[in-house]
Amino acid sequence: MRLLHIESDGTFSLGEFIGDDIPPYTVLSHMWGADKQEVTYQDLFGGTGQQKSGWGKIRFLCQADDGGRSGMRMGRHMLQVSLINKSSITELAESINFMFKWYKDAVVCYILLEDPTPDIAPANGFQDCRWFTRG
């Protein structure tokens, strides 16, 4: 399992963990966007990710982890799009099979609903979000 370690100054590094040596982490559950918009594994470490709209998901994790929402400073995060090498069919298939476990084992799971608008009443709008239609 790969985890993104985000420092308080915004820099990050990647850690690979196997078996029982996985530290506490948060996970972001979200809908994958178009390939041109999402920050891929290659973008993240090639320095081109910040130009993509999907970078907002990484910023969201940084802000959420800053003690604001959870009251904790985890520092390590799982974000499927950026941490799964989708150019490897084997890794992609293996990762999809492990996703439930990754969510289950996370200390905090954030759900990013990208499509509700501010004018929608919460009681009426959330059930129409794309996130609830995923398989």
Q: What are the tens digits of pLDDT across the range 54-73?
A: 888 887 777 776 554 444 45
- Give the Cβ contact number of residue 82 at 10 Å: 28
Q: Give start and end residues of each alpha helix (H) in the chain.
A: 41-46, 55-63, 80-83, 89-105, 122-125
pLDDT by residue (tens digit) across 89-109? 888 888 788 888 888 888 888
What tokens appear for 44 in the block?
């993240």
Residue 121 is predicted with a pLDDT of: 62
Provide mean pLDDT across the span 38-63. 81
Express as a percent the part of the chain with pLDDT over 90: 0
* CA distance linking residue 122 with residue 13, whole number of Å: 36
Residue 69 is predicted with a pLDDT of: 46
Extended strands (E) in 7-117: 12-16, 26-29, 76-78, 108-111
Higher-confidence residue of 70 and 28: namely 28
* CA distance linking residue 30 with residue 76, whole number of Å: 17
- Domain residues of the chain, as ranges? 2-133
Residue matched to tokens 């099979």: 97
Query: Parallel, antiparallel, or unpaired for β 26-29 and 76-78?
Result: parallel
Provide mean pLDDT across the span 70-93. 67
Query: Which of 43, 51, 35 lies closest to 12, judged by CA?
Result: 43
